Structure 1
Amino acid sequence: MRWSVLLAVWLGAHGAVAAPREDLEAELRTGDIVLHTSRSRQSQFIQVATESPLSHVGMVEVTPEGAWVVEAVQPVQRVRFAKWKARGLKGRILVLRPKELSDAQRQQAVDAAKAHLGKPYDLRFEWGDEAMYCSELVRKAYARGAGVEYGKLERLGSLKVKGLEKPMRERYGRKVPVELELVTPASLAVDARLEVVHSDFPAVR
């Protein structure tokens, strides 16, 4: 199923999507999960493999100084929300919020994510803690900070990787680990335990 259809069906079942607002930052809450289309080279491969435009994800922390995003790039870092949003293709983002967690639980999840600040980005999408990729950081932060595992683990070989043999060999060598389990931004995006706060994606308005 194409990403646009999948997200449209899911969003239709979870309520209307908010129209874009200039005061979006004021609507954010600590623990919100934000997704966009990265401009990185690997973004196009992630989009193809997951049939989704959502190729990067981070976690919001709201402070008296404004909203920030904790994200796994090179290295894991904490950046201003406005800067994070601007990095996405056309500035479009999807904002999700856990439905049944307290403010304290969401802050604990963000604190768990911040424990990884400074770690390198995991280009191989492995599950160890020595390095982190974006959706791994979010899933682990909520699992360890709030006891909830958002998204699902999927085998690399179960994704739409046909036609991506060359970039995968460049990353992994001749033996691609098709049994590798990973969590994708697209998997987080369709988790029914997360409610839509805002979406800029035309296909799901």
Structure 2
Amino acid sequence: MSVRSKAVWMVMLAGLTAGALTAGVPVRATTEVSRQTVADIREGDIIFQVSQSSLSTAIQLATHSKYSHCGIIFKKAGNWYVYEALQPVRYTPLQEWIARGKDKHYVIRRLRQADSVLTPAVLEKMKTAGAKYQGKNYDFYFGWSDDRIYCSELVWKIYKAATGLEIGALQPLKDFDLSRPEVKAKMQEVYGSKLPLSEMIISPVSMYNSPLLVTVTDK
């Protein structure tokens, strides 16, 4: 990576961290999760929201998606968490994760065959598969290596490693809508003049629209 690219990345890293964690919602803000919602939650569920980070608008426009961020729900010590790739990859308490999203809106989608596929043993495999990413930096370049990780990549790779299932189809960067000014500006900021148009990417909307999933909660 060039010195200029490293500098850009560090600036964006600071921007995403500040934007995602402080834009309109304090870091420690929480919101009530209804008893009905908690009753509906299962480990391995995938949760989607509209992020308030600096990248959210560009992601939404480029992918034609309402949602720009996602994670996997797991239970730890009796409490619900979202395992997510933000900055860095980490477990976030569910209430805190919901409060951070735009209008506190979220959708939970579940594997259609969860009862037969997501056994306790497989859920442990998912947690083990995800553990190697914990603490890694967010990937502004949306590359497919494991050096840095973005949100939908984390979820996709965990499911693939533990279940063999591909939740959503990968697409090359060139297949996304890169025509909008907001997207062009962000692409220039991240990549400069050399866009990696053949880089394969898994978008939140591709995962959201996967026929392998069914919506269980839309709040």
Range of TM-score over shorter length: 0.7 to 0.9
Match of 1:102 in 2: 118
1:183 aligns with 2:202: yes
Match of 2:184 in 1: 165
Matched position secondary structure for 2:66: coil
Match of 1:132 in 2: 149
Alignment match of 1:122 (pick from 119, 134, 139): 139
Task: State whether residues 82 and 97 of structure 2, in contact with CA within 8 Å, keep that contact through their aligned partners in structure 1.
Answer: yes
Task: State whether residues 31 and 107 of structure 1, in contact with CA within 8 Å, keep that contact through their aligned partners in structure 2.
Answer: no
Structure 2 counterpart of 1:80, one-letter code: P
Runs (4 or more) in structure 1 with deviation over 4 Å come to: none
1:91 aligns with 2:110: no
Task: State whether residues 126 and 180 of structure 1, in contact with CA within 8 Å, keep that contact through their aligned partners in structure 2.
Answer: yes
Match of 2:169 in 1: 152
Match of 1:22 in 2: 34
Q: Deviations over 1:128-149 (max 9, x none)?
A: 0111000000000011111111
Distance (Å, rounded) in 2 between the aligned partners of 1:168 and 1:136: 19
TM-score (norm 2): 0.79
Report the CA distance between 1:107 and its aligned residue. 3.7
Match of 1:71 in 2: 84
Which structure shows the higher helix fraction?
A: 2
Structure 1 vs Structure 2 CA RMSD: 1.3
Where do 5+ consecutive residues of structure 2 fail to align? 1-32
Task: State whether residues 159 and 165 of structure 2, in contact with CA within 8 Å, keep that contact through their aligned partners in structure 1.
Answer: yes
Query: How many residues were matched structurally?
Result: 180
1:82 aligns with 2:95: yes
Distance (Å, rounded) in 1 between the aligned partners of 2:51 and 2:176: 19
Which of the pair has the greater relative contact order for Cα pairs under 8 Å at 6+ separation?
1
Report the CA distance between 1:102 and its aligned residue. 2.7
Match of 1:143 in 2: 160
Matched position secondary structure for 1:168: helix
Distance (Å, rounded) in 1 between the aligned partners of 2:62 and 2:108: 22
Distance (Å, rounded) in 2 between the aligned partners of 1:127 and 1:156: 12
Q: Deviations over 1:13-32 (max 9, x none)?
A: xxxxxxxx822123211100
Match of 1:38 in 2: 51
* Stretch deviating more after TM superposition (63-72 or 85-94): 63-72
Q: Percent identity?
A: 32
Q: Deviations over 1:55-100 (max 9, x none)?
A: 0000000234310110001110001000001111011111011122
Report the CA distance between 1:106 and its aligned residue. 3.4
